[in-house]
């Protein structure tokens, strides 16, 4: 069974990524790409992307990332998160979809995340 993890990316960054995505300035400053599990997505979106628009949700097959993927504890959220210590290769991407919002402003996750 494939384990999907998710990366939230501004659409222009994703469209210009090429064969791999090196991460946002925040990712680059931290030295790894931040990912979330399906269960972690709503809180990640609420905390870090509340005022942002034109975002993509990128689903990734965690099994294709090898040893560069590490699950690490985040004290601010009190749970383990997937962190990728390498650029994200396009061949690990399962799909990428725009993140839309409901009328109340809450993010609407693509059906594929269910």
CATH number of the domain at 96, please.
3.20.170.20
Buried b / exposed e across 29-63, counting CB within 10 Å, b at 16+? Answer: eeebbbbbbeebbeebbeeeeeeeeebbbbbbebe
Largest CA distance in the chain: 41
Q: What is the pLDDT of residue 112?
A: 85
Q: Residue 113 falls within a domain, yes or no?
A: no
Instruction: Give me 43's structure tokens.
Output: 């809180």
Q: Residue 64 falls within a domain, yes or no?
A: yes
Q: Residue 32 falls within a domain, yes or no?
A: yes
Q: Residue 27 falls within a domain, yes or no?
A: yes
Q: Residue 111 falls within a domain, yes or no?
A: no
Q: Sign of the CA dihedral 45, 48, 56, 106?
A: positive
Q: Each residue of 10-40: pLDDT tens digit?
A: 999 999 998 999 999 999 999 999 999 999 9
Q: Each residue of 58-89: pLDDT tens digit?
A: 999 999 999 999 999 999 999 999 999 999 99
Range of the domain at 72: 4-100
The tally of domains found in the chain comes to 1
Q: Residue 105 falls within a domain, yes or no?
A: no
């Amino acid at each position: 069974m494939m384990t999907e993890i998710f990366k939230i990316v501004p659409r222009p960054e994703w469209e210009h990524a090429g064969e791999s995505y090196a991460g946002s300035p925040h990712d680059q400053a931290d030295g790894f790409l931040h990912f979330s599990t399906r269960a972690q997505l709503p809180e990640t979106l609420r905390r870090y992307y509340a005022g942002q628009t034109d975002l993509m949700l990128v689903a990734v097959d965690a099994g294709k990332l090898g040893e560069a993927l590490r699950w690490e504890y985040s004290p601010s959220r009190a749970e383990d998160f997937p962190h990728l210590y390498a650029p994200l290769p396009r061949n690990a991407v399962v799909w990428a979809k725009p993140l839309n919002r409901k009328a109340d402003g809450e993010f609407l996750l693509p059906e594929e995340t269910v």
